[in-house]
Structure 1
Amino acid sequence: MSPRERRGPPVDDPQVLREGLTPAQLEALRTLEFFGWTLGFVRRPIFQDPVPVVFDREGKRHAVLRGDGTLDESPGFRLRD
């Protein structure tokens, strides 16, 4: 990890990724998974709610699950390659 890198090691346990998500986010995630979307990672900004990021089955599109369970396909941030 570089000195500027703040990310920890990737979490492989899907249950750990789901910790702290709202019931609405969990319900929306179950529905999205039925259609082939997967939970890629969860941003956990300090003093803010977790931000789960999901990917379509091809891994070409990403979206954020908001606290109320809505899907935001234009979250306002880019993913690193």
Structure 2
Amino acid sequence: MFGRERRRPGDADSAALRAGLTPQQLAALETLEQFQWTLRFVRRPMFQDPIPVVVDRSGKRHALLKSDGSLDENLGFKIRD
């Protein structure tokens, strides 16, 4: 039992994605995860706040998680497959 890796493979990636998010974004993300939304990626434009993008469980709906914790489904850019 000792020595076995207990973390899931995505845990380090998840922590890296969450780095720099506001407390409101983190709280909203926790709530969204209960509804099976996932933090897919974070855009990090130079000299601007990070822009986290979440996706629903079907993978068809994407939304921006704004700094105040609200969702914006008008991404303003195209999501590639």
Q: Same fold (TM over 0.5)?
A: yes
Q: Which amino acid aligns with 1:71?
A: L
**SS of match in other structure, 1:63:** strand
- Flag the structure with larger Rg: 2
Q: Deviations over 1:3-48 (max 9, x none)?
A: xxxxxxxxx6101100000000000000000000000000000000
In 2, the alpha carbon distance for the partners of 1:80 and 1:54 equals: 14
**SS of match in other structure, 1:21:** coil
**SS of match in other structure, 2:58:** coil
Across the aligned residues of Structure 1 and Structure 2, the Cα RMSD in angstroms comes to: 0.9
In 2, the alpha carbon distance for the partners of 1:70 and 1:61 equals: 15
Equivalent residues, number: 70
**SS of match in other structure, 1:54:** strand
Q: Give structure 1 regions of 4+ aligned residues with deviation exceeding 3 angstroms.
A: none
Equivalence for 2:71: 71
Q: Which amino acid aligns with 1:34?
A: Q
Equivalence for 2:52: 52
Q: Which amino acid aligns with 2:46?
A: I
TM-score of the two chains, using structure 2 as the length reference: 0.83
User: Which structure 2 residues correspond to residues 7-22 of structure 1 after superposition, within 5 A?
Assistant: 13-22=13-22
TM-score of the two chains, using structure 1 as the length reference: 0.83
User: Which structure 2 residues correspond to residues 2-41 of structure 1 after superposition, within 5 A?
Assistant: 13-41=13-41
Q: What is the percentage of aligned positions where both structures have the same residue?
A: 67
Structure 2: gaps (5+ residues) = 1-11
